[in-house]
Structure 1
């Protein structure tokens, strides 16, 4: 079967294309721009990748080898009606779907059982922890994770494994397409108001997801939040957020990381019957994930924290790690989201000594909303008192260098992609000390 992946450079579609290639499918694809990850896919054997999404390009690929299935991302779906690729597929009777339908096909044909990691925050790190722990105890697995990891690819298929570990995103209700063997819920806090206009709609999506899972592991506070009627007959394990292993047995930095690790240890114990103390010992060696409290240079860190809970979690880790002061450089992910978290902004950064706000990273915006500039966001922040609107320029570079030289921990809360604070940091500081 020949599968064409549109948006193949993305963190959701790209790993799935690599998995499909490793699982024996013929794979091709396209993206709007070239990237290092596309280069990596090409080196891994995904040779037929076209930059630019035109009808002529997909026709040329289809002429060389007929396309059986066109898989597209949520971003491409929004272009339905204007996408030349989609029009070509419609006119030529090529099967089209989002990634979830193809992934279900792959799971069924390869006899894989899904282990899903879902939740508002911590999905990527927790998924990576799950992959790491299964590898450490020698269990063959297939998986897909939404960030670079230092101990494997972002996606992989192993013919000897029976489990597929998957970062199940609730955006666009993607996770409701699946019926996992086991689901881990990292935490639930209303997000994505463009998809879920009310808190109740968001929480009910998780209730439905849990009902579709053979077994689930969830924190006590989230079970209460969802109003789950739990009894011994229910296929749900409820964990205590204050369990002694989180405070003593697990040595990872940051309470959120320790909680995620305990969730994973319990999940692997459920799947393999390995002793929890052995699993905790392995978890203490977890090496981390890119863009999750990742050190770019001495004293300078990048973290993909963009909801209020993630931001608080990142600050808690920074306070735990740093013997000195913590300063924050903040790039909001989407103007729409800044409106959504506006009520939290007055005290969201209160543990930081200083705050520098750069323009938000814009994508999928509600054009009817006022653009919250760095100046306007600063006005909404009450603490810390030292707060400054900034741009990605030489002045910001000198400010960061000054704080790093003093020994302050500079926590950069960043979006991703071209033109983001994260990209600017890597270009500006990754080769400097």
Structure 2
């Protein structure tokens, strides 16, 4: 009798690792996991029959291992960075249980299932592009397996189709995860220097992307990104045809830019130069979770958390022709030390801006916390900025603004306990 491999996913509520757990379960593996806090994502996985603990202790994983021996312990890149002596990690070390980051597991899975990787990589737009590609493939009847780092209305976050040849995946540059792969097609989205603690210089960041490109059989990118990375168009490097952009009716210039990359990839997969059905499918794209997602009338949530992403999202919001009120929760204090000066050029001509304390995760204890008042002091008067907290006063302010007809944009990159989670409890009808 064949033994089914038991895979334990630590940090299973994360948008990168959770979909992989779901895929593993669909592929027939025994799957379990843990996270340090409950969230909409852990609830989502539990509803799909995955057993998980909302605690990360030696006792909890030992209990799971005693019930059903763990064959492979898969963890997020953040786990050893946050705590090299994490109790789960120490436990699997002690028992000699095979353990690795998620990229090692996915590489094994791709090889085992003989899937060609279609990778979406870049600083901004990875999740949106992957979701658009999944939607388009479904509309065109192309069998695919995929992992998307957001909830989508047209499928699960992760899916395995035994009949598929391709695996669509958001390749993250954090901790150089994306360098574990040799994609069949790599679609580059917008690239800007980020993750400064991992890439101390812009050159470090660019060099990592250049290496990723060199590992890819085919590369698709806009001319601007190829120029930024000093990569020339050649046989396997395909420059996106800018004439596709006017054909795309999706709101937001950045979304249209991403969609053009997706269209090019889908045409390559289908071996066609006929873009008509591809464009038609993309123009019907319904959007994804936390990407200008409508929570209720006039209230939207977006994952934008860098000055570049915020500027793109505000440009999209302005296409609605309404006055704009923004509530912003910066993602991690450590990142703010690198980007605080860039905000002054982003938050302009708003009806109001409400600035929350930063969402803290994987922080450097040596860095001073930058408070909302300090950020606001650097902004122009046209930002109409105020400090705020996640409380009833802010809830009333948001309701008043939305009732007056303003577009209220909630910007947050955090997970459990973030502005986004608070807003869903406050404004989304169950």
Q: 1:79 to 1:347 in 2, by over 3 A?
A: closer
Residue 394 (structure 2) pairs with residue 392 (structure 1):
no
Which position in structure 2 is the counterpart of 1:403? 401
Q: 1:324 to 1:61 in 2, by over 3 A?
A: closer
Q: CA RMSD in A?
A: 1.6
Question: Aligned to 2:319, what secondary structure does the other structure show?
Answer: helix
Deviations 1:292-349 (A, max 9, x none): 111112111111101111101100010001x221121111111122221122111211
Partner Cα separation in structure 2 for residue 257 and residue 17 of structure 1? 28
Partner Cα separation in structure 1 for residue 169 and residue 374 of structure 2? 38
Structure 2 counterparts to residues 202-221 of structure 1, below 5 A: 202-221=205-224
Partner Cα separation in structure 1 for residue 26 and residue 391 of structure 2? 43
Q: Which moved more, 1:283-292 or 1:87-96?
A: 87-96
Q: 1:42 to 1:423 in 2, by over 3 A?
A: closer
Residue 184 (structure 2) pairs with residue 201 (structure 1):
no
Q: Which moved more, 1:252-261 or 1:342-351?
A: 342-351
TM-score, normalised with respect to structure 1: 0.94
Give 1:192 shift.
0.5
Give 1:79 shift.
5.0
Structure 2 counterparts to residues 92-111 of structure 1, below 5 A: 92-111=95-114
Partner Cα separation in structure 1 for residue 322 and residue 53 of structure 2? 49
Which position in structure 2 is the counterpart of 1:153? 156
Deviations 1:400-430 (A, max 9, x none): 2222122111111123323211122222222
Partner Cα separation in structure 2 for residue 149 and residue 114 of structure 1? 20
Partner Cα separation in structure 2 for residue 42 and residue 335 of structure 1? 31
Which position in structure 2 is the counterpart of 1:310? 309
Deviations 1:368-391 (A, max 9, x none): 222221111110111525211122
Residue 370 (structure 2) pairs with residue 375 (structure 1):
no
Question: Aligned to 1:3, what secondary structure does the other structure show?
Answer: strand
Residue 347 (structure 2) pairs with residue 344 (structure 1):
no
Residue 66 (structure 2) pairs with residue 63 (structure 1):
yes
TM-score, normalised with respect to structure 2: 0.95
Deviations 1:45-67 (A, max 9, x none): 323x2232222222222223222
The aligned length equals 425
Residue 24 (structure 2) pairs with residue 26 (structure 1):
no
Q: 1:403 to 1:2 in 2, by over 3 A?
A: same
Q: Which moved more, 1:130-139 or 1:344-353?
A: 344-353
Which position in structure 2 is the counterpart of 1:266? 264
Partner Cα separation in structure 2 for residue 121 and residue 350 of structure 1? 21
Partner Cα separation in structure 2 for residue 87 and residue 328 of structure 1? 43
Partner Cα separation in structure 2 for residue 284 and residue 16 of structure 1? 28
Partner Cα separation in structure 1 for residue 326 and residue 38 of structure 2? 31
Which position in structure 2 is the counterpart of 1:290? 289
Structure 2 counterparts to residues 143-182 of structure 1, below 5 A: 143-182=146-185
Q: 1:297 to 1:45 in 2, by over 3 A?
A: closer
The answer to whether the 8 A contact 2:401-2:408 is kept is: yes
Q: Unmatched 5+ residue regions in structure 1?
A: none
Q: 1:39 to 1:353 in 2, by over 3 A?
A: closer
Question: Aligned to 1:364, what secondary structure does the other structure show?
Answer: coil
The answer to whether the 8 A contact 1:349-1:383 is kept is: no
Residue 9 (structure 2) pairs with residue 8 (structure 1):
no
Deviations 1:136-187 (A, max 9, x none): 1111111101100000111010000010000100011100000000000011
Partner Cα separation in structure 2 for residue 81 and residue 363 of structure 1? 15
Q: Which moved more, 1:160-169 or 1:386-395?
A: 386-395
Partner Cα separation in structure 2 for residue 404 and residue 59 of structure 1? 49
Deviations 1:248-291 (A, max 9, x none): x1111111111111110110001112421220011000000111
Q: Which moved more, 1:81-90 or 1:294-303?
A: 81-90
